[in-house]
Amino acid sequence: MDSGVDDFLHKPFDRDRFIARVRVAMRILDLHQRLRLANTDLERRVEERTAEFLSRASHELRTPMNHILGFAQLLSLKKGLTEKQEASVGQILESGRRLLTLIDHILGGCKVQCK
């Protein structure tokens, strides 16, 4: 037998050496289990922090943009604006909507990627 198994058949049994090997194996298994638990805990904490970040980022980005769009909509309803002013308000509305869509896509992509 070339696999090394025959060593145990021909060598005398060394109880202390056997116990030491079992202890090492048990220690490795214990450390492996602890590592798995630590990784699971870390993954959970990362998911919580990511969700918290996305929630805050969503609020911090969308709220000011919605204010800008709201004021631009109010301006667009105002009578007596010049053509240039109407065009400027239209640009604000169009750009604001594009930015809001971009924010939605970025945050939505982050949510999908994080799951």
pTM: 0.59
Domain range list for the chain:
6-114
3-class SS string, the chain: CCCCCHHHHHCCCCHHHHHHHHHHHHHHHHHHHHHHHHHHHHHHHHHHHHHHHHHHHHHHHHHHHHHHHHHHHHHHHCCCCCHHHHHHHHHHHHHHHHHHHHHHHHHHHHHHHHC
91, pLDDT greater than 90: yes
Assign 3 a pLDDT band (cuts: 50, 70, 90). Answer: low
From CA 20, how far away is CA 92, in angstroms rounded?
A: 75
Q: Which CATH class is domain 6-114?
A: mainly alpha
Q: Which residues contact 63 (CB under 8 A, 6 or more apart)?
A: none
For 20-61, how does the pLDDT look when each residue is reduced to its tens digit (9 = 90+)?
999 999 999 999 999 999 999 999 999 999 889 888 988 899
Radius of gyration (C-alpha) of the chain in whole angstroms: 32
